[in-house]
Structure 1
C-alpha cells in the first residue's frame, strides 16, 4: 500500500502509532488551513555522521527539505538549535514490564489481629487461667488438675477448641469454662474471617517504580530492539539508571539483550522476566497472551519518565506559526485528545472479580506449617525429657 494508506490504517496501529497519530493531526491542520502534504519518509529521528551532518527527521528539517514533522519527537538542548517545537501532542514513556509474583512467606496468619488485640487476648486468657486455678483450688480438685501448668493446658485446649478433660462441678468454675468457650468461638470466627478476607482481597505485591529495585532483583532482562534504549541508559545522569546499566545491562551480550516482541512477552507471561518496550507497542501483546490474573500482576518500571513529545518544524518556516495556532484549536476542540485515544494502545484492565477463587501457594501457608513443625518438635523434646525423668526417678526408687 502507499504511505498515505499505511498512515491511515487503524488495524495496524501498534506499528508506528505515534507517526500515524501525527499524520492524523497534520491532516486536521490541512483541513483547517486548506493545504496538502507531500510526504517524505525516513527511518529514524536523528543520526549524526562522522563529519557532523544530521541525518533522519532532524536533518531533513534542519536542511529545510521539509517544513513540519509528522512524527512527534523529544526536544532537548542539542535539537533545539536544529529544529523548533510546535506543540506538545503525544504522551510518551517506555518501561520494563514484568509480572509481580509472590516471592516471600505470607504473614496472613499473624496479621488478622493487631498487636494490641494479641496482647489483650493473652491477658484475657491469663486472667481466665488464674481464676480457673483458684476455683479448682477451692473445689479441692486434686486428682488431676493440681498444678498451674495443667490448668494452663486446660485453658489452651479450650481456646483452641480441642475440648477439655475437666468437668467442672461448681458454678464458678463452670462460668470460667463457659467464658473461655464463648471467647474462643468469637476469636476463632473473627480470625478465620479475616484470613479468608485477606486471601480474597489481597492485592498483588508490586515493585516500586524504581530502576534501583529492578537492578537489585533477580529478574532476567531484555529489551525490544529500539534505537533509543541504549541511548537512554547511557545518556541519562540519574544514579539509578547508572546503577542499572553497570550492574544488569552492560554484562548482557547483544544476542540476549535484544529480543523480538513476541518472544519477549511470551517470557514475561511465564514469569521472572522483565522486558523493555513502549506500552503502545506492548499492550496489544499483553491483551493477547496474558490471562486476567497475569494482567493484574503486570508491573511497570519506567526507564524514561513520562513526558510529552512535540510536533516539530524547521526554523523560520511560514508553516510553524500556522501549525501552532492549528494545534491549539485542535486541543481546545477536543480533537487532539480524541486522536490520542484512537491511536494509543488501551491499557489492559485488571478485573479481580473473575479470579477470586485461586490456588493458595506454599509460601502463603508456610506459617501454618512452621507452627505445626515447631509444635511437633517441642512435643517430641518434652516427651523425651519426661521419659528420661521418669526412668531416672524409677531407677532411684
Structure 2
C-alpha cells in the first residue's frame, strides 16, 4: 500500500522572481526515471508553492516535497544516503547558481541523484562554471523548444556533465531528448552512459602501484616490459589492465610507486596503496587489493581482476614401506589362498611318499623313502620358488600331486613377479593432502616473503594456520635462520627433500620448470594453505570515476582481453611426463633390504638349528656311551 507524503517547507518571506515550473514535465521526469523520492526546488511565493504541490499530488506512489531555494538546507533536503532520488530545479530563479555552488560540499551529483533543471533558454552554461560535476553525474537541462516542425514539442532536453571538474576536465552538453504534450518525457538512452562519455581527453589522474622490491630502470619501463613475468606478476598484470583503460578512455595518469598494499597501523591509519587512496593522493590503484574491513572504510572496491592462488610445494615422500614391495603386490586374501594351497600340496606330497613306502614294504624292497613332513614341505616350497622338486613319488597319484604342485608354483611365481614389477612402476600414492599432514610428518616449512602472506598468517583464526605461523616465528628466533625467503631460495630447499615451501603459484611454477628435473616434478605435491583469494580494482571512497573505470574493465573482460592477459601472466603448471627417464626401475638397498633380512634371518635360524642339532647329537652320544660303560656287578 502506498502513502502520499506531502511535505511543504516555507522559508521566511518569499522573493518574487522571474521563474517557471512545469509540473507536468516534473512528473513525467519522475515517472521516466522510476523515482519514488523527489524534491522540487523553486523560488515561487507561498501561493505558487501550494499550487505546485497541488499539481504534483496527481501521482499516488511518490514522496514529493517542494522547497524554497533561498537558504535551503542542502544536507537535510537533497542528500539521500541510499535511495535514488529526483531533484527538479527552477534554474531561472535568483540563487539557483549559488545553490549549485554550495552543493559542491555534498555528494548530490552522484549516480543516485537525478537532476532536471528548467531554464528559459539554451544559454545555461554559466550555471555550471563552478560546480563540481563529473563523468558520473546525471543532470538534464530542459528549455523551450524552437523546433517548429514538431508542434507538440515543448522542451528540448540536454544531457550535461563534466569529464572531471577537479582534474582539468571540460564541461560537456549534448541534446538527449525532448518533452511534448503527447508522449511526455522522452530521453532514449540507447547506449551505456559511460560508453557515450568515454572520451576523457585532457583529464589528469594520479595512481599508485605496489612494487615491493628494487627495480632497474624507470617505473614506466618496468610496468611495460615482459621480462621476468614471475616477479610481482599480480601488480604488473593489474597495471597493464589500467594502461589499456587509459588508452581506451584517453586520459593521462601519473603513477607513483609504493611498497605496500596497505595495512592497518598501530595509530589507526592505513599505509601503502590504501593509504594513498585514503589521503586522496591517488585517484585509483594500479595494483589489486584484497577486501579487508579496515580498507573498506577508506576506499571503494571495484571489479575482480586477479585470483591469488598459493600452496605449499613439497616432494611427495615414499608412500610405501620397503616390506610392502614384497607383500603388497598380492592382497591378503590371495596370500591366504596361497598358504592354504601350499598346505594341501605338502599334505598330498607326504601322502604320495607314504604310499611309496607302503608299496616298498609289500614288495620287500629296501629303498629308503623319506616321508617326513619337513621333506614334503621342502619339496613344495622348492616347486613354488621354481627350484624344482628334490624327489617325487613313484606312484601315479603321487606324481599327479607333484605335477599339480609344479604347475601351481609356476603360475604363482609368474603372477607374483608381474605384480611386483607393476607395483614398482606404479605412481606412489599420496601420503599428505593437508597442511596438518605436513606438520604431523615433521617437515621443515617456509613461506614466500611477501606482506600479504604474513598478513594472512597473522589474521588466521584456524588452528592449523596458527601453528604454521608459530613454527615460522620459532625458526626466525634461531641463529641466522628465517622462515620467510624468496621463492628461488625456498624451492631449492624443496629439492633437497623433507621441506615444504609456501609460495604463490605464479611465482613457483617458472622456477620449478627451470630448475627441477622431470622425476622431481613428478614427485612434487601442492597443498594449499588458504583458499583462492580474489583481488579487486580499487578507488577513492565515493570516487566519481569508479563506475567508468569498472565499465572499462568489464569491457576488457567481455572482449577476452583479461582472459588473454591471465593466460600470458599466469604460467602453466609443470607437467609430469612419465617417460622412461622419469620411471626409476632401479631398486636400491632401501627397497631390497627386507629380502636380505629374510636371508640373514634364515641363515641365523639355520645356524641355531644346526647348533641345537650338534648339541643334541653330542648329548645323545654321550648318554649312549655312559650306558655302554656302566659296569654291572655279577655280570660276565
* Structures share fold, TM-score greater than 0.5: yes
User: Greater relative contact order (Cα 8 A, min sep 6): structure 1 or 2?
Assistant: 1
* 1:246-257 equivalent positions in 2, closer than 5 A: 246=470, 248-253=471-476, 255-257=480-482
Residue equivalent to 1:238: 462
Give SS of 1:352's match.
coil
Distance 1:44 1:344 in 2: 22
Alpha-carbon distance between aligned partners in 2 of 1:49 and 1:240, rounded to the nearest angstrom: 26
Q: Distance in 2 between matches of 1:124 and 1:358?
A: 32
Contact (CA 8 Å) 2:349, 2:398: kept in 1 or not? yes
Does residue 291 (structure 1) correspond to residue 517 (structure 2)? The answer is yes
Q: Which has the higher helix share?
A: 1
- Once the two structures are TM-superposed, the CA of residue 23 in structure 1 deviates from its matched residue by 1.7
Deviation at 1:387, TM superposition (A): 2.2
Q: Which runs of 5+ in 1 are unaligned?
A: none
Quote the residue 1:185 is aligned against: 410
CA distance in 1: counterparts of 2:570 and 2:476, whole angstroms: 32
- Over residues 271-302 of structure 1, what are the superposed CA-to-partner deviations in whole Å (9 max), with x where a residue is unaligned? 23333322222222222221111111222333
Alignment of 1:38-117 (within 5 A): 38-102=254-318, 105-106=321-322, 107-117=324-334
Q: 1:360 pairs with 571, 587, 599, which one?
A: 587
Q: Which moved more, 1:191-200 or 1:123-132?
A: 123-132
What is the CA–CA distance in structure 2 between the aligned matches of 1:379 and 1:165, rounded to whole Å?
19
Q: 2:229 matched to which residue of 1?
A: 13
> How far apart in 2 are the matches of 1:374 and 1:85?
71
Tell me which residue corresponds to 1:158.
383
Kept after mapping to 2: 8 A contact 1:84/1:315: yes
Contact 2:308–2:533 (8 Å) recurs in 1: yes
Counterpart contact for 2:352–2:393, Cα < 8 Å = no
SS in 2 for 1:102: coil
Matching residue of 2:571:
345
SS in 1 for 2:260: coil
State the match for 1:380 in structure 2.
607
Task: Give the distance between the partners of 1:48 and 1:204, measured in 2 at CA.
Answer: 44
| Secondary structure in structure 2 of the residue aligned to 1:251 | helix
Shift, 1:32, TM fit: 4.1
- How far the C-alpha of 1:343 sits from its partner, in A, is 0.7
Cα pair 1:233 1:245 within 8 Å, conserved = yes
Cα separation, partners in 2 of 1:243 and 1:357, compared to 1, 3 Å: closer
Q: Secondary structure at the match of 2:556?
A: helix
Structure with the higher fraction of residues in strand conformation: 2
Q: Deviations over 1:216-264 (max 9, x none)?
A: 3333333333223333222101111122333x22321263113444433
Change (3 A) 1:88 1:81: same
Aligned partner of 2:113 in structure 1 is none
Aligned to 2:444: 220
Change (3 A) 1:124 1:50: closer
Distance 1:259 1:16, change over 3 A: closer
Distance 1:50 1:234, change over 3 A: closer
CA gap of 1:362–1:261, structure 2 versus 1, over 3 A, is same
Structure-2 separation of matches of 1:137 and 1:120: 26
CA drift at 1:116: 1.2
- In the alignment, what sits opposite 1:201? 426
Distance 2:543 2:466 in 1: 39
Contact 1:99/1:294 (<8 A) preserved: yes
Range that drifts further, 83-92 or 363-372: 363-372
Deviations 1:50-95 (A, max 9, x none): 4322221111122333232221121122222222221222121333
Tell me if 1:320 matches 2:546: yes
Unpaired runs of 5+ residues, structure 2, are: 1-216, 359-366, 625-636
Q: Does 1:394 align with 2:631?
A: no
Residues 1:71 and 1:270: Cα distance change in structure 2 (over 3 Å): same
Measured against aligned partners, the alpha-carbon deviations of 1:70-123 in whole angstroms (never above 9, x if no partner) come to 211211222222222212221213333222243862312111111111111112
Correspondent of 1:136 among 340, 346, 353: 353
What's the counterpart of residue 240 of structure 2? 24
Out of 370, 375, 381, which is 1:145 matched to? 370
Residues in 1 aligned to 2:587 and 2:305: alpha-carbon distance in whole angstroms: 46
3-state secondary structure, aligned to 2:325 = coil
Aligned to 2:67: none
TM-score of the aligned structures, taking structure 2 as reference length = 0.58
- Distance in 1 (alpha carbons) for counterparts of 2:245 and 2:428: 46
> Which has the greater radius of gyration?
2
Structure-2 change in CA distance of 1:304 and 1:121 (3 Å) = same
Worse overlay, 27-36 or 292-301:
27-36
Instruction: Classify 1:241/1:151 alpha carbon distance in 2 versus 1 (closer, same or farther; 3 Å).
Output: same
Secondary structure of 1:249's counterpart equals helix
